[in-house]
């Protein structure tokens, strides 16, 4: 159990709610929970159940461990604590890393509220620790993640760590396959719409378009991670091009569209991640524009 500090702003908010005479308060999230993150849900993940014992009490936690090969998220999905009739325990989540000489170079933590129920049953939580970019070189000796249980007891509160860990972390790029002169139909460069039967569309326009890299179904890497990926994909990666789009359609029916798409090299690959006691494979794909176009009636 930890001390709770009530600020003036918090006290004012409580008083306002009391004066307003609210009969039914809105539903609250589970203690220590965070709002769902669509990007985290799209990341490759695995699960672990961890436990520890101290002072005659045992705590268990179910963890979801997610990464796209750069970002790391530990989510405490649920917990269970030995029944002693109390309900002010703590389940604090953490991510830790050390470099080759044993110095702590990564230490991210999210504390729960003093409200963890100790009744021997599983309870949903949702606490997350979100590391936006793992410091690969500086956690080369040790990587671990888990929770610290602080058990609510009469007198002093015993604590223990329940975690999963490994010797360092590795990230490798594997399984490269290429399709040259592919058409990226998810990206329209220019289009025109036939409003009457027999209409012919002529497209003559210069436009800029960018190459893309995606991890999973929807994650777009940036910064150093993107540079690492593109360096593995191509020795001369082209980030963007100016394309001269010129093509003429056949006769179109009313409502048909004539669309120009970019041509390029489509690549599929997998980023294999090993660390924090788990291994996760993150599928990826890229499309590197080559300056060509494909025009089609749709």
Q: Does a structural domain hold residue 13?
A: no
Confidence of residue 41 (pLDDT cuts 50, 70, 90): confident
Same domain, 164 and 140: yes
CB atoms within 10 A of CB 160: 18
pLDDT in tens, 49-79: 999 999 999 999 999 999 999 999 999 999 9
Same domain, 45 and 155: yes
What length is written for the chain?
Answer: 298
Residues 6+ apart with CB under 8 A from 20: none
Domain final residue pick, 168, 196, 221? 168
Q: Quote the domain boundaries for residue 187.
A: 171-297
Same domain, 259 and 152: no
Q: Does a structural domain hold residue 24?
A: no
> How far apart are the C-alpha atoms of 256 and 194, rounded to whole Å?
6
Three-state SS at 115: coil
* Lowest-pLDDT range of 32-46, 137-151, 190-204: 32-46
Q: Does a structural domain hold residue 184?
A: yes
Same domain, 194 and 261: yes
Domain count along the chain: 2
> How far apart are the C-alpha atoms of 124 and 121, rounded to whole Å?
10
pLDDT at 84 over 70: yes
Residue 195 CA, distance from chain mean position: 44
Q: Does a structural domain hold residue 145?
A: yes
Look over the chain and give the mean of its residue pLDDT values, rounded to a whole number.
88
Q: What is the pTM for the complete model shown?
A: 0.78
pLDDT in tens, 221-234: 999 999 999 999 99
Q: Does a structural domain hold residue 246?
A: yes
Same domain, 178 and 151: no
At 137, which CATH number?
2.60.40
Output the pLDDT for position 36: 53
Three-state SS at 12: helix
If one compares 191 and 40, the residue with the highest pLDDT of the two is 191
Taken in order 96, 100, 104, 108, is the CA torsion positive or negative? negative
Same domain, 188 and 92: no
Three-state SS at 231: helix
Domain final residue pick, 168, 202, 219? 168
Averaged over 2-25, what is the pLDDT?
Answer: 35
Same domain, 180 and 241: yes
Same domain, 131 and 163: yes
CB atoms within 10 A of CB 33: 17
> How far apart are the C-alpha atoms of 131 and 74, rounded to whole Å?
9
Domain final residue pick, 137, 168, 199? 168
């Amino acid at each position: 159990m930890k001390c709770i500090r009530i600020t003036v702003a918090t006290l004012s908010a409580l008083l306002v709610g009391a004066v307003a005479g609210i009969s039914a308060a809105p539903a609250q999230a589970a203690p220590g929970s965070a709002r769902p993150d669509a990007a985290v849900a799209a990341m490759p993940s695995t699960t672990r159940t961890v436990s520890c014992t101290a002072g005659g009490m045992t705590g268990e936690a179910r963890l979801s461990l997610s990464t796209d090969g750069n970002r790391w998220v530990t989510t405490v999905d649920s917990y269970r604590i030995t029944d002693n009739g109390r309900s002010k325990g703590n389940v604090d989540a953490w991510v830790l890393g050390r470099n080759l000489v044993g110095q702590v170079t990564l230490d991210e933590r999210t504390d729960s509220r003093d409200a963890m129920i100790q009744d021997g049953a599983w309870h949903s939580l949702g606490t997350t620790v979100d590391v936006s970019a793992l410091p690969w070189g500086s956690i080369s000796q040790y990587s671990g993640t888990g929770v610290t249980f602080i058990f609510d007891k009469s007198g002093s509160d015993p604590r223990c760590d329940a975690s999963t860990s490994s010797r360092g972390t590795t990230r490798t790029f594997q399984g490269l396959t290429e399709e040259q002169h592919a058409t990226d139909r998810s990206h329209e460069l220019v289009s025109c719409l036939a409003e009457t039967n027999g209409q012919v569309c002529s497209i003559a326009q210069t436009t800029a378009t960018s190459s893309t890299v995606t991890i999973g179904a929807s994650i777009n890497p940036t910064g150093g991670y993107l540079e690492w990926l593109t360096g593995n994909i191509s020795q001369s990666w082209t980030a963007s091009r100016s394309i001269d789009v010129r093509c003429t359609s056949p006769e179109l029916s009313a409502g048909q569209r004539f669309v120009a798409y970019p041509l390029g090299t489509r690549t599929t690959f997998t980023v294999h991640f090993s660390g924090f006691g788990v291994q996760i494979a993150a599928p990826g794909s890229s499309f590197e524009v080559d300056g060509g176009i494909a025009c089609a009636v749709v």
